[in-house]
Amino acid sequence: MVFAGWILLPLDAYATQLHANSEGIVTHQIGHLFFLFSMVVLIFTITGKGLDKQKGWRLIQYSAFFFILWNLDALTAHFFDNQIQAVKIENISLTQIKVIANNGSTVLAWFYYVLKLDHLLCVPAMFFLYKGLSSLVNEQRQVIKKKDTP
């Protein structure tokens, strides 16, 4: 009877788990950490294989280093504004903003302002990657030239 009642009178199952609003920023932060970790691994792998003696790979190492810095920058900035919401920005006009630190610290406000200039890290990182690849292209051209020379 109980079994029959259980079958014939079903209740809500709640099969899909509900996600809290903070999940997004946590996932984003994990992503940054993963990116950072992969860049650290890349630096050590290049060194471990002795590739840092080649200019191209050394430049790629520099690129990875700047991406690490950029990830640290982004992680810190997201930590303050999205995770603990210690800092927020308000647009006063087209040219001015107001950085508000919840604890009223001006140092934190200025630190956050500097953190917001993260392109100063990721653009050099991309540039070093480009230079590294260019250097590898040149090396490869020389290798081909040597092979073709009788």
Partner 1 sequence: MIASFIPILAIDVIGSVFMVVIAFLCLYKARLLREMDPDNAVFLYLLWISTGFTVFALSRSFGHILRQFLILTSTAETWHAISSYSGSINTVSFMLVGLITLFFNQSWNINEKILSGRKKLEETHIKLVDLNQTLEHKVVERTEKLTSSEHKARRIFEQSLDTILVTDEKFNISEINPAGVTLTGYKKEDMLANQMGLKNFLAQGSEWKRIKHLLETREYILNDETDFLRPDYSQIRVLITGGVDYGAFGCGKTFHFIIKDINDKRQMEQQIAQADKLAALGELSAGVAHEINNPLGIILGYTQLMLKEDSEFEEDLKTIEKHVKNCKTVVSDLLSFSRKGTLEKSLVNVAIIIDGVVKFLANHTDFRNVKIQLKRLKKDRLMIYGNEQELSQVIINLMINACHAVNKKGTIQVAIKKTGDNQIFITVKDNGTGIRKKHFSRIFDPFFTTKPVGQGTGLGLSVGYGIIRRHGGDITARNRKEKGAAFTISLPLALTKDNIKEDRSNT
Applying CB under 8 A, the residues found at the interface with partner 1 are: 24, 27-28, 31-32, 34-39, 41-42, 45-46, 49, 64, 91-101, 106, 109-110, 113, 116-117, 119-120, 122-123, 126-127, 129-130, 133-134, 136-137, 140-141, 144
Task: For partner 1, give the closer residue by CB, 15 or 145.
Answer: 145
Buried b (16+ CB within 10 A) or exposed e, 65-93: bbbbbbbbbbbebbbbbeeeebbeeeeee
| Residue 24, both tokens | 């997004």
Residue 89's SS3 state is strand
Q: CB 5 → partner 1: shortest distance, Å?
A: 43
Q: CB 60 → partner 1: shortest distance, Å?
A: 9
Q: CB 15 → partner 1: shortest distance, Å?
A: 23
Residue 118's SS3 state is coil
Task: For partner 1, give the closer residue by CB, 16 or 96.
Answer: 96
Task: For partner 1, give the closer residue by CB, 6 or 138.
Answer: 138
Q: Do residues 99 and 87 lie in contact, with contact meaning Cβ atoms separated by under 8 Å?
A: yes
